[in-house]
Structure 1
Amino acid sequence: MSSPLSELLKNPQLAEQLLSEAQTRGFVTAMAAAPHLIDPAEWLAFLWGGDETSPFESHEELEAYANEIVNMWNQSREDLLTGQWQWPEGCALDDKELVTEATRELAEGMLQGWQLSRDDWDTIMPEGSEDNALLGGVLLCFSLLYDPENAMEALSQEGADGLAQFEEIFTSVPTMLCGLTIKAQALVQEQ
């Protein structure tokens, strides 16, 4: 993944304090998928552990980082609402590890981000509703991708061809995530 964010993360001091690029992309994608828009000012600090003080040495560095995050959010939101979101570069299945490190980290960031918007999701897609099953399915997919070894074991115990099922899960995530975001947006507009 080569981007302005990659350039910022080449600074070892910042790389130690910020989420990795893949984790950041997952977190930002979760924020972009949220039913209600959440101002980045409310969640930006979570990208460096929630500390009030940012790890940046200058205001210009912080501003460049924040601008990159907002641009990423805007692109993710547009891609999700138009059904165009795809796995970012570097996210893939892996013969040896089941998924690449980038896939695992993106899933981790996505799950972390989802926690911030969880109340919105629970309100718009309450437990027991058909829509909640869609939300649960998407979250389950990201959980499985975050911990693929246990996922494979669980699928095998259920008698499924674990690898084939896992490939199907990975392949279906973009469609499911876009569908969930579009459905959430429609539910918000109905309110």
Structure 2
Amino acid sequence: MSDAELDELAAFLESDATGEECMDLSMLHGFLTAIHIGPVKPEPAAWLAQVWGENGQQPQFATPALKIRIEDLILRLYNQLDDEISSEPPAYTPLVYVDEESGTDIAQQWCYGFTLGTAMAPEAWQPAMDDDEIAQLLAPIFDCADDEAREAMSSDGENLAEFEHELAAALTDIVPVLHAFWLARVPVVPHRLSNRRLH
């Protein structure tokens, strides 16, 4: 996807056409990452509903054409993940925001989206939680997304801005390891999506 297309999708997600619970672009990227690399693949219609909000909210598309356009951009973002993670070597890069003053990456939204992705199939993700090595990789992601964990880290003197910046850089290596973990346990099937899969 081009930068212009990513900007178009980001603008819609944050527009008045969507509700307050709608994911932003970074959160969506983390969410789709978890779904793509995870042990089960929910139907697109099921996870797309979560993009707009957890309580059944729906965006107000100005035209049917706009609905098709936005859904196509989301599915193309998913397919881009497939290309990046499946390439050799993996070329995965998380979409995270950057603090304009400090230049540091902000990973919290991405991490929150990732946790929502794992929550689509919590029982299926349990083997990863039970594996000591993989659990150590997942722990900072979940801590970054969790307000109580963040407060505890801050109380312990952890610089959250530095923590998020370092985590964002580490995700380029963490995500392929998580992907490999599940590939070793779940049969590999092609999983590129088209807009007709939404209906």
Q: TM-score range by the shorter chain?
A: 0.7 to 0.9
Q: 1:185 to 1:15 in 2, by over 3 A?
A: same
* Structure 2 match to 1:179: 177
CA distance in 1, matches of 2:73, 2:33: 13
Could you tell me how far 1:68 is from its partner in structure 2? 1.2
Q: Provide Cα deviations, 1:99-128, integer angstroms capped at 9, x if missing partner.
A: 53xx21111111111110322222xx2664
Opposite residue 151 of structure 1, the aligned amino acid is M
Pairing of 1:76-155 with structure 2 (within 5 A): 76-82=81-87, 83-88=90-95, 90-91=97-98, 95=102, 100=106, 103-122=107-126, 125=127, 128=130, 132-146=131-145, 147=147, 148=150, 150-154=152-156
Please tell me whether the aligned partners of residues 31 and 114 of structure 1 are also in contact (alpha carbons under 8 angstroms). yes
Q: Provide Cα deviations, 1:114-151, integer angstroms capped at 9, x if missing partner.
A: 110322222xx2664xxx22332232121233354533
Q: Identity, % of aligned pairs?
A: 18
* Structure 1 match to 2:44: 40
TM-score, with normalisation over the residues of structure 2? 0.71
Q: 1:126 to 1:105 in 2, by over 3 A?
A: closer
CA distance in 2, matches of 1:162, 1:10: 28
**What is the SS of the residue equivalent to 2:111?**
helix
* Structure 1 match to 2:33: 29
Opposite residue 78 of structure 2, the aligned amino acid is W
CA distance in 1, matches of 2:173, 2:99: 16
CA distance in 1, matches of 2:182, 2:108: 25
Q: Provide Cα deviations, 1:1-32, integer angstroms capped at 9, x if missing partner.
A: 75231242363232645211221111111111
Unaligned runs of 5+ in 2: 189-199
**What is the SS of the residue equivalent to 1:6?**
helix
Matched, 1:13 2:20: no
Opposite residue 35 of structure 2, the aligned amino acid is M
CA distance in 1, matches of 2:186, 2:40: 7
CA distance in 1, matches of 2:10, 2:27: 12
**What is the SS of the residue equivalent to 1:182?**
helix
Opposite residue 94 of structure 2, the aligned amino acid is W
**What is the SS of the residue equivalent to 2:30?**
helix
Q: 1:172 to 1:127 in 2, by over 3 A?
A: closer
Between stretches 44-53 and 177-186, larger displacement belongs to 44-53
Opposite residue 20 of structure 1, the aligned amino acid is D
CA distance in 2, matches of 1:180, 1:119: 16
More helix by share: 1
Q: 1:109 to 1:10 in 2, by over 3 A?
A: closer
Unaligned runs of 5+ in 1: none
Opposite residue 124 of structure 2, the aligned amino acid is D
Could you tell me how far 1:181 is from its partner in structure 2? 0.8
Opposite residue 10 of structure 2, the aligned amino acid is S
RMSD between aligned residues: 3.3
